[in-house]
Amino acid sequence: MDTPSRSEHTPSPPDLVTPPGLTSPQTGLAAASAASGRARLGDRLFAGASKGSGILLLVIMAAIAVFLAVRATVAISANEGNFLTTFEWNANANPPVFGIAVLAYGTVVSSIIAMVIAVPVAVGIALFVSHYAPRRLAQPIAFVIDLLAAVPSIIYGLWGALFLVPHLTGLNLWLDEYLGWTVIFDKTNPAATPRSLFTVGILLAIMILPIITNVTREVFLQVPRAHEEAALALGATRWEVIRMSVLPFGRSGIISASMLGLGRALGETMAVATVLSASPVLTAHLLDAGGGTFAQNIASAFKEANDMGRDALIASGLVLFVITLLVNGAARLIIARHKEYSGANA
Amino acid sequence: MKLQHKSGLRTLAVSAIALTSAFALTACGSDNNTPGGGGETTQAGAGDIKCDGKGQLLAAGSTAQKNAMDLWVQNYSQACKDVQINYQGTGSGAGIEQFMQGKIGFAGSDSALKPEEVEASKKVCKGGQAIDLPMVGGPIAIGYNLPGVENLVLDAETIAKIFDSKITKWNDAAIKKLNPDAKLPGTAIQAFHRSDESGTTDNFTKYLKGAAPDAWKYEPAKAWEAKGGQSADGSSGVASQVKQVEGAIGYFELSYADANQIPTVDLDNGSGKPVEATTANASAAIGEAEVVGTGKSLALKLAYDTKAEGAYPISLVTYEIVCDKGNNAETLGAVKSFLAYTASEAGQKAVTDKGYAPLPEEIAVKVRETVDSLS
């Protein structure tokens, strides 16, 4: 989310910057012009330094990108499988055989599940905190949500593996029994522990909830008072106020927030590696154990990887990077289309 | 115009940060491969250490022997103040890689060097080549979670079929036959394997391939090849799943079973008497191994199909990798004196408490002789 632009902050005239002690009445004019020269020099130095560090950062990033692309190319050209369609990941074998099909599927599917669960809940919480809850209640709630965001992901992973997974067995059986006909909720081995993409999706939803909630709450709080009061004056109920003024105003803010959450879900590593029963299986049955994600695979395979294995992991990381870029680009497009009436880019 | 320019820069900076964090992901990972379950360190067993050399000795490699190394290093540095040894559990592959680049004095590895690795080592070992010195073994236990069933007995073929999803119920006829007295429930078997690549998986599948070639069609590898079952990250992950899930079975170093109080399978190796997974029984099986290394190398070929009484062949042997000739002159003294200690009776005895199987005496003698001849 962009901060409001500071166009009204024009630079102060240089003579105002000069410390008052330096200007004696006799040499006032000369001192002022000298000071203005110094200030210009300072301006230039600062501009140069900030521009320089910006460029340096870009150069470093470009160097990293080139390095990664080269390493990825090495791996992909040595690959005996099809990088896009092969299921297995045997990058350390000789010859290496690996593909990203399972990883890409698992990453996208688990993130979609997380978004489907997290976005409505997060928007609900944000609305409650910003428009329904009394101030005394709103602040503790906001505080607790901030706290959730500070929990390290390995803690979520341990909690997921030791608590969430065993307690999801009942929900899994219920879904299998009543919604099994939808295929995606059909569990082929009902006895297996639910260490599946579905469980990972639920865990990811909890993990991305705080960031989405916080950002959307901030946007909802920025809704111009006049909009809401105008709606109230027209006789709108509180829900109608939210529907007519708050949600349209916050739409691109919600999208930005969701994208931030999605970014975290796509790249989440340790929590997924701890909870998911990883295997090179691509299945539409979301409740079946198996599958994998890019980041989880990197975490699992990195430890014992040889040179080729590492290059292959870098290649998979680049794909994740491209997916993230595409998603962010799409989000920016959507936001740009609603620019004229939005809280995010106000 | 000026403003646009600035916000353009800002966008660049923001995307640059996003880029960095995306790449930083690739560096994440954790390593939970250590077999020791923790506990207090043994002070005894330092023995008479002959100090030699000075300064820092770097070593790296297998995480499976990390706990043994830590104990050895502790004992050794108490006796020899002049030498600081730093062993990093980076994984066997990374250890060998660093050794080949001449960065470390010796490497720890879960498996013997491949011929091409020996060939490549001639660059770093001036006038010699890298050799494998077996240093310590460890039983891989098969833990299970089956309330009411104690002393479960399985044989190689049944284990292979269970982990290959060919046997899916605990009251399968094959299991019943091996456990005529046990009350086996009809629950589904949930076989757990490692999701990360691991020397433990490598050695476990080597055993399956060696002892039950008809039932286990997959090539031994660090990555799990068989279909079905569930996976978990690290030995600790597998152990915690087995502990938690009723009907589960999984493989991990013995120390994890002890630490989590998970019952382990007694192996029917064909001798007629089921063998419990203990360090002593693993040592007995390692004693049946054959030295297949050439020259000074003492690489072992474990007898997975041994029928010797009291031999538990689901074991791994970890090696130290050094040059037979042409070791770095600065660290040679320290390497020789340290490895002489680790292969000594006192050194071997010291690590049994940590779940490691000491080398059988005849192999240990050969290791000591070889260490003495390093140059």
The reported pLDDT for the residue numbered B19 is 45
**pLDDT in the model for residue A10:** 43
Cβ–Cβ under 8 Å, residues B211 and B312: no
CB B134 within 8 A of CB B371: no
- Residue A345: the pLDDT is 44
Q: Do A57 and B16 touch (CB under 8 A)?
A: yes
pLDDT, one tens digit per residue, over B97-154 is: 889 999 999 999 988 888 888 998 999 998 899 999 999 998 999 999 999 898 999 9
pLDDT tens-digit map of B219-277? 888 888 888 889 988 888 899 999 989 999 999 999 889 889 999 999 998 888 999 99
Helix, strand, or coil here: B301?
strand
Question: What confidence tens digit (pLDDT) does each residue in B286-342 have?
Answer: 988 988 888 889 999 888 988 888 999 999 899 999 999 888 888 899 999 999 999
CA distance A274 to B23: 21
Mean pLDDT of chain B: 84
Which chain B residues are closer than 8 Å to A274 by Cβ? 233, 237
DSSP characters over B233-254:
SHHHHHHHHHHHSTTEEEEEEH
pLDDT band at B348; cut points 50, 70, 90: very high
Cβ <8 Å between A303 and B26: no
Distances (CA, A) of B1 to A44, B7, B9, B91: 18, 10, 13, 55
Q: Which residue has the tokens 């399956």?
A: B208
Please state, as a whole number, how many other Cβ atoms lie within 10 Å of the Cβ of residue A152. Answer: 10
B55 band by pLDDT with thresholds 50, 70 and 90? confident
Which of chain B's residues have a Cβ under 8 Å away from the Cβ of A269?
25, 28
Is the predicted pLDDT of residue B361 greater than 60, yes or no? Answer: yes
Output the six-digit token pair for A192: 């297996």
Nearest to A57 among B13, B223, B233 (CB): B13
- Percentage with pLDDT > 70 across chain B: 87
Distances (CA, A) of A225 to A230, A241, A245, A250, B237: 8, 11, 10, 13, 53
Closest C-alpha to B136, from B365, B374, B364 = B364
Cβ(B247)–Cβ(B187) below 8 Å: yes
- CA-based nearest distance B135→chain A, Å: 21
* Residues of chain B positioned with their CB less than 8 A from the CB of A290: 230
Contact state of B222 with A92 under an 8 Å Cβ cutoff:
yes
Residues of B in contact with A2 (CB under 8 A): 7
Interface-testing mutation among B222, B227, B241, B249, with chain A (most A C-beta atoms within 10 A): B222
State how far the Cα of B346 lies from the Cα of A216, in Å rounded to an integer: 65
Task: Please say if the pLDDT value at position B1 is more than 70.
Answer: no
Interface contact B190, partner A, CB < 8 A: yes
Taking the Cβ of residue B222 and every Cβ of chain A, the question of whether any pair is shorter than 8 Å is answered with yes
Are B25 and A269 within 8 A, CB to CB? yes
Q: To the nearest whole angstrom, how far is the Cα of B324 from the nearest Cα of chain A?
A: 25
Cβ–Cβ of A303/B199 closer than 8 Å? Answer: no
Residue A34: its pLDDT value, please?
Answer: 54
Q: What is the pLDDT of residue B29?
A: 37
> Helix (H, G, I), strand (E, B), or coil: what is residue A284?
coil
Compute the distance between CA of residue B212 and CA of residue A311 in angstroms, rounded to an integer: 35
Separation between Cα atoms, residue A139 and residue A133, nearest integer Å: 9
Contact flag B26-A195 (C-beta cutoff 8 Å): no
The ipTM assigned to this model is: 0.70
Q: Which of A53, A196, A303 should we substitute to test contact with B (largest number of B Cβ atoms within 10 Å)?
A: A303
Please list every residue in chain A whose beta carbon sits closer than 8 Å to the beta carbon of residue B165.
none
Q: What is the pLDDT of residue B25?
A: 40
Other beta carbons less than 10 A from residue B281's beta carbon: 24
pTM of the predicted protein model: 0.76
Identify which of A189, A195, A295 has the shortest CB distance to residue B25.
Answer: A295
Residues B136/B359, Cβ–Cβ less than 8 Å = yes
At residue A93, the pLDDT reads 79
Judge: B237–A58 Cβ closer than 8 Å, yes or no: no
Domain extent listing, chain A: 22-78, 89-345
- CB neighbour list of residue A324: distance below 8 Å, 6 or more residues apart: A263, A266, A267, B18, B22
Tokens representing A46 are 């600062």
Residue B363: how many other CB atoms lie within 10 Å: 23
Nearest CA in chain A to B231: A277
| Residues B131/B350, Cβ–Cβ less than 8 Å | no
Q: A302 to chain B nearest CA, in Å?
A: 7
Residue B250: what pLDDT?
95
CATH topology of domain A89-345: MetI-like fold (1.10.3720)
Asked if B230 reaches chain A (Cβ–Cβ under 8 Å), the answer is yes
* Cβ within 8 Å, pair A65-B19: yes
Within 165-184 of B, beta carbons closer than 8 Å to A belong to none
Please state the length of chain A.
346
Residue A336 confidence (pLDDT): 82
Secondary structure in 3-state letters for A174-216: HHHHHHHHHCCCCCCCCCCCCCEHHHHHHHHHHHHHHHHHHHH
Residues from chain B that touch A314, judged by Cβ atoms under 8 A, are: 26
| Residue-level pLDDT at A341 | 53
Contacts of A207 by beta carbon, 8 Å cutoff, 6+ apart = A114, A153, A156, A264, A265, A268, A271
How do the pLDDT tens digits run along chain A, 346 residues long?
444 444 444 444 444 444 444 444 455 455 555 555 566 888 899 999 999 999 999 999 899 889 889 999 999 999 988 999 988 888 887 788 999 999 999 999 999 999 999 999 999 999 999 989 898 998 898 889 888 888 999 999 999 988 999 899 889 889 988 988 888 888 887 778 889 999 999 999 999 999 999 999 999 999 998 988 999 999 999 899 999 889 988 988 899 899 989 999 999 999 999 899 888 888 888 888 888 999 999 988 887 787 888 899 999 999 998 898 888 888 888 888 766 554 444 4
